[in-house]
Amino acid sequence: MILYHQTKLYLKSNIALFCLSIVAALKSNRALRELYLSNNNLNSEQDSMQLGDLLRYNSSITTLDLSNNTIANSGLEEICEGLRVQTDGLKILILWNNQITNNGLVHLAKVLPVLKTLETLNLGENNLQNRGIHTLRESLMMNHSLLQLGLEHTHFTCEGTHLSHSRHSCYFVCLLSLHTTVLL
């Protein structure tokens, strides 16, 4: 049973199939604002297609926490397809520790410029490396809503700090978190 007046839903550390049944039912729920799906072993294939569909059909969700899952690059592609349609709802997207690499950021780079309300993006604890940071550089300059960007533990070197040049060109990012990211 779905509560249609519930604005927050925490489904942390559950069985993925159970979570996805609920996610599918939430496509038409306009009351839900925050959805927390961390630690659910969500994978890159079927799970991410459901999440992409959710974002495609439900623009009332402002917070989506997918931390500590296995979304990976192909899953990020599905999520970005959903975000491409829903450009004005999501404010916070947490993708911490999801086995995303620099190859997956190509999909995020395509959708970042059109996301009008995204204020917080956390990509920490993913193996993005220098190439991933460079992939996002132009998109970050074109996005005018992003205020916080989390890049902790993303395995880039001093070369990757070239991102700071785009931060100076992007007037809207207020907090760039790089804690223990730069490898000497």
Q: Which amino acid is at 166?
A: S
Q: Please give the domain boundaries of the chain with CATH numbers for all domains.
A: 8-177 (3.80.10.10)
> Is residue 5 very low, low, confident or very high in pLDDT (cuts 50, 70, 90)?
low
What integer best gives the mean pLDDT of the chain?
83
**pLDDT one-digit tens code per residue, 72-94:** 999 999 999 999 998 789 999 99
Phi, psi for residue 124 in degrees, rounded to 5: -60, 160
Phi, psi for residue 172 in degrees, rounded to 5: -95, -25
CA dist., res. 183 & res. 123, Å (int): 17
Question: How is residue 28 annotated by DSSP?
Answer: G
> Is there a contact between 32 and 9 (Cβ–Cβ < 8 Å)?
yes
The residue that leads in pLDDT, 158 or 62, is: 62
Sign, Cα dihedral of 39, 45, 51, 54 = negative
The string of DSSP letters for 108-156 reads HHHHGGG-SS--EEE--SSB-HHHHHHHHHHHHHH-SS--EEE-TT---
Q: Which amino acid is at 169?
A: S
Could you give the angle at which helices 72-85 and 46-57 cross, rounded to 10 degrees?
10
> Is residue 1 very low, low, confident or very high in pLDDT (cuts 50, 70, 90)?
very low
Cα separations (Å) of 68 from 39, 102, 161? 5, 18, 25
Phi, psi for residue 54 in degrees, rounded to 5: -60, -45
pTM above 0.75, yes or no: yes
pLDDT of 101 above 80: yes
> Is there a contact between 42 and 16 (Cβ–Cβ < 8 Å)?
yes
Q: What is the mean pLDDT of residues 94-120?
A: 96
CA dihedral 108, 139, 125, 168 (to 10 degrees): -170
Identify the CA nearest to 119 among candidates 93, 85, 84, 151: 93
pLDDT at 161: 60
pLDDT at 45: 77
> Is residue 123 very low, low, confident or very high in pLDDT (cuts 50, 70, 90)?
very high
